[in-house]
């Protein structure tokens, strides 16, 4: 993420960085005051847990796989997964929620599969 030169600098000099420097370097994506850390962590966890699980899993796998693929292969994989996620109940819920100007309620299909 930082490139070879900065990585070597960190490793050779055993540098410790501040939270703000870590943010500037792209090592972290957000910095919050210590007093807010638990609340922000739980907020982010709820946001992820309430997101469209199938689409997020496929996206994560595509990103992980992309490093080992050619650009054309990565595009093919994303196209195949999009064909699945576009017809998933979460996609339909997202469209309905947008049309009705409300927050989507993803993962309702999970509740139906538990019974």
Query: Is 21 contained in some domain?
Result: no
CATH code (residue 90): 1.10.12.10
* pLDDT score of 39: 97
The pair phi, psi for residue 24, each rounded to 5°, is -65, -35
**Tally of structural domains, the chain:** 1
What distance in Å separates the CA atoms of residue 115 and residue 95, rounded to the nearest whole number? 26
Asked if residue 57 belongs to a domain, the reply is: yes
- Alpha helix ranges (H) inside 67-115: 71-85, 89-99, 108-114
Residue 96 lies in a domain: yes
Residue 38 lies in a domain: no
Q: Does the pLDDT at position 5 exceed 70?
A: yes
Q: Tell me: the pLDDT tens digits for 25-62?
A: 888 999 999 999 999 999 999 999 999 999 999 889 98
pLDDT in tens, 60-86: 998 888 889 999 998 999 889 988 889
Compute the half-sphere exposure of residue 6: CA atoms within 13 Å on the CB side of its CA: 11
The answer on pLDDT for 114 being more than 80 is no
Predicted local distance difference test score (pLDDT) of residue 84: 87
Q: Does residue 11 register a pLDDT over 90?
A: no
The verdict on residue 31 lying in a domain is no
Quick check: is 91 in a domain? yes
Output the CA–CA distances (angstroms, integers) from residue 15 to 6, 7, 38, in the order listed: 10, 10, 27
Domain hosting 97: range is 52-114
């Amino acid at each position: 993420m930082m490139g070879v030169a900065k990585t070597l600098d960190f490793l050779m000099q055993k540098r410790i960085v501040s939270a703000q420097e870590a943010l500037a370097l792209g090592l972290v994506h957000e910095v919050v005051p210590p007093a807010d850390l638990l609340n922000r962590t739980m907020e982010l966890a709820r946001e992820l847990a309430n997101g469209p699980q199938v689409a997020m899993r496929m996206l994560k796998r595509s990103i992980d796989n992309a490093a080992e693929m050619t650009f054309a292969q990565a595009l093919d994989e994303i196209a195949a997964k999009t064909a699945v996620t576009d017809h998933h109940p979460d996609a339909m819920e997202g469209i309905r929620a947008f049309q009705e100007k409300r927050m989507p309620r993803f993962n309702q299909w999970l509740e139906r599969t538990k019974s």
